[in-house]
Amino acid sequence: MGKTYSGEVRNGVVVFDPVAALAEGTKVRVEPIERSEAVASGPDADPIAGTRAMLLAWARKAEENAPPLPSDLAENHDHYAHGKPRE
């Protein structure tokens, strides 16, 4: 077996430490070294915690990249959605 590299999961993607300069397309094997909340087990475990965390991360990313909404959006919804004259 070859070298081992460290990293962490960020927004559902494994991000290796900078010293792991692996070429694009390199096949890897990932083995968790610490237990996360998403894989907790037992009677109190949340079976959808991983999915929830992933969706929340996507929502945060979408919110960060979205253009600002007009301040009069609620009042002039029909104008913005359907092209009607503003009120």
pLDDT number for residue 4? 81
Query: To the nearest whole number, what is the mean pLDDT of the chain?
Result: 81
**SS3 string of 5-23?**
CCEEEECCEEEECCCCCCC
pTM recorded for the entire structure:
0.33
pLDDT in tens, 51-82: 888 889 888 888 888 888 899 999 999 999 99
> d(Cα 57, Cα 12) in Å, to the nearest integer?
8
DSSP 38: G
CB 36 within 8 A of CB 48: no
pLDDT number for residue 85? 92
What number is the average pLDDT over the span 20-39?
Answer: 74
> d(Cα 29, Cα 59) in Å, to the nearest integer?
28
Domain boundaries, the chain: 7-67
